[in-house]
Amino acid sequence: MRRALFLCTFLCAALLVFAPARAGEITETLNIVWEVFWQQQGYMQSVSKWREPVRVSVSGTGSQRHRPFVLAQLGRVARSAGIELAEAPPDGPGANFEVEIVPDDLTRVGFYFACRTSRTPGVGVIQRVKITAEERALRRCMLHEAMHAMGMAGHPRAGSILSYYRSSDELTATDELLLKLWYSDEVKPGMHALPALAVFARALVQSVPEGEARLEAERTAAQFQRQALAQLESIAAGKGEPPRILFQSSTLTPAGLARGRLEAQRALAAAKAEAASLEKSPNAATQADR
């Protein structure tokens, strides 16, 4: 009961921070959410999230000097997600989240990127994360990489610290909403993008006052979800393409796009299975009347 009350208060606070009143704002926010699910190589990923407390270690070049900054930035993201994060104690369990700071060297982390995040496993319940960052880029990339470390793979076109070309080092209102809903009980580890998108759509609609504005928000959210479904159907059939922002990625590959078709097929199969399950549910009729 206490956890449910906490979660309700947590999400309500998030929606007060981000309370779209116009259809265009709902469309833009859902587009950010949708693009977050797409790996820059060209395929869609299911939900990844932490289930255990996060224990951080900071090592490498200037680690003692940079440690307070790193822990503060990671703490900001963890608090928004509502998860526990602390520095790994020297006499306790080892770190499951490593931050390694390396000397400035374009050949060490990657030619195009000075920071990189790896998660294990890639999808589902996250067990380990490592962020590798060149010292020169640490302060501008830590929040961006921290969002990846929380399970969000993509780089939306705009409106998020995850965006490729965002110069700000602050979380946006949409980032706060992403973290809170991503780590709500409604979004499960391994959940495919379409049902997760529906969770965000419902939350955004509920943030709009009842009346004609709410009805318009419902129509807008439903239209966006239909478009997302149509996009996946087209990709699965080998005709369509992923979001255009992916084509600005230096790591987009033919293999990634081919995997994108397979992931689209899996997502569609999962959506159909869920729909069939709801139809057979004895509570389906009652739910439909609500």
pLDDT greater at residue 273 or residue 68: 68
**Res. 228 pLDDT band, cuts 50 70 90:** very high
Judge whether residue 3 has pLDDT over 50. no
Contact 175, 144 (CB under 8 A): no
Place of tokens 């949409």: 174
Q: Rounded to two decimals, what is the model's pTM?
A: 0.86
Mean pLDDT, residues 167-189? 93
What's the chain's average pLDDT?
87
Question: Residue 192's closest CA among 121, 81, 272, 287?
Answer: 272
Residue 93: the pLDDT is: 83
Q: Provide CB contacts within 8 A for 153, sequence distance 6+.
A: 36, 37, 38, 39, 40, 45, 48
Give the Cα separation of 238 and 224 in Å (integer): 21
Q: What is the pLDDT of residues 121-138, one digit of tens each?
A: 878 999 999 999 999 999
Give the Cα separation of 284 and 289 in Å (integer): 9
Q: What is the pLDDT of residues 46-105, one digit of tens each?
A: 999 999 999 999 999 999 999 999 999 999 999 999 999 999 988 778 999 999 999 987
Judge whether residue 227 has pLDDT over 90. yes
Residue 16: the pLDDT is: 45
pLDDT greater at residue 20 or residue 168: 168
**Res. 289 pLDDT band, cuts 50 70 90:** very low
Judge whether residue 284 has pLDDT over 90. no
Q: What is the pLDDT of residues 181-214, one digit of tens each?
A: 999 999 999 999 999 999 999 999 999 999 999 9
Residue 92: the pLDDT is: 74
**Res. 2 pLDDT band, cuts 50 70 90:** very low
